[in-house]
Amino acid sequence: MIKLVELQKKGKDAVLYTAAQTPTPPHGFSKGRVSDLEGLKKALRHLLDVSGHKTENVVLGITNQDVLIRKVTMPPMPEKELAASLDFEIEDIFNLTTNSNTSSVVYSYDVLNRTEKELEIIVVGCYRDLIDPYIELLNSVGLVPHVFDIAAFSLPHLYKQDNICFVDLGAHQTTIYAEINNQYAVHRVLPVGGVMIDEGISQAFEVDISAAKQLKNQNDLDYLLLKGAGSKNLLRSVIQQYIGGIFQTLDYLRAQLRASAISEVMPKVVLCGGNANLMGFDQILAQELGVAIEICNPFSAVSLTEARKLPDDAAIYSNAVGLALRGLAE
């Protein structure tokens, strides 16, 4: 789905004005890249029409395996010199091949730690050809790109906690983003998503994809894993891919911090994205990973204008609310 959330600052509060979504065209994105620009323009125009939004300023979240994220240390230096130095070293930092032109890469950075001896910096970049179609898309519908960021990087705006892990369960990909001591610890995009669960249910229950989606929306995962009369292999292996990928990532953090259990370093894992609404997914993950799992309600981080009814599938708006909060904090 394409999600649009509009917030307005009122004193200290971020007030929710708009929350709307529209289906992503079937071939709109491929692995986080724009692949059907015309289809996306149409969908976005529709979303803008139905949402009744007011602002044109957009904070856009990107989820893509090819985004480059590096932590580097540099000798202490003033901000201006740092920018020039990074420009000079960006090829090495990102390990760009000699025939890739540095001007084809866009990047930004943030200083994580500044001591007398060194600067610890996070550098995030991507090839321009990833970002240009997004700019064209926004411009074509009259929106103004204000900030581009990795979608998950804005999720900590929703929860004030030192150590936290977000798992965004999307339709085509799953993103794991963790912070330790309020700082970037890991960002990983797994090539597993809700469409694969749908496919698994379709085989297990011998029904078509739209009936499989309905079964997914109305039943819990235990039921879906046990009951179908058809082949359960695909559904089981898809769920195993989720569990394996999330476990591996969290266990890497545990090992780095020399802890004996994941729960020692990560008190809470927050599920975001549409498939966070799949009933019982949280319980299976809690059991397998041995950590507390919470389903994200991004609207608890904002104020509401009137007694407006919030959507039942609130978790689907997690990234959008996080990004809008980030926009207000700029």
Ligand X SMILES: Nc1ncnc2c1ncn2[C@@H]1O[C@H](COP(=O)(O)OP(=O)(O)OP(=O)(O)O)[C@@H](O)[C@H]1O
CA–CA distance, 22 with 219 (Å, rounded to integer): 23
Tell me: does residue 188 bind ligand X (CB under 6 A): no
- Least distance (Å) between residue 3 CB and ligand X: 6
Among 7, 185, 316, 323, binds ligand X (CB under 6 A): 316
Amino acid at 177: Y
Compute how many residues bind ligand X; rule: CB under 6 A. Answer: 20
Residue with smaller CB distance to Mg ion, 156 or 170? 170
- Least distance (Å) between residue 166 CB and ligand X: 12
CB 4 within 8 A of CB 316: no
Residue 313 interacts, among Mg ion, ligand X, none and using kind-specific CB cut-offs from 5 to 8 Å, with ligand X
Amino acid at 267: P
Q: Interface residues for ligand X in 206-235 (CB under 6 A)? A: 213, 216-217
Sequence-separated (6 or more) residues with CB below 8 Å from residue 189: 32, 63, 64, 65, 173, 174, 175, 176
Tell me: does residue 277 bind ligand X (CB under 6 A): yes
CA–CA distance, 208 with 234 (Å, rounded to integer): 15
**Which residue has the closest beta carbon to ligand X?**
274
CA–CA distance, 88 with 23 (Å, rounded to integer): 42
Q: Interface residues for ligand X in 29-68 (CB under 6 A)? A: 63
Tell me: does residue 173 bind ligand X (CB under 6 A): yes
Beta bridge partners of 119: 74, 114
CA 92 to chain centre: 27
Residue 278 interacts, among ligand X, Mg ion, none and using kind-specific CB cut-offs from 5 to 8 Å, with ligand X
Binding site for ligand X (CB under 6 A): 1, 24, 63, 170-173, 193-195, 213, 216-217, 273-275, 277-278, 313, 316
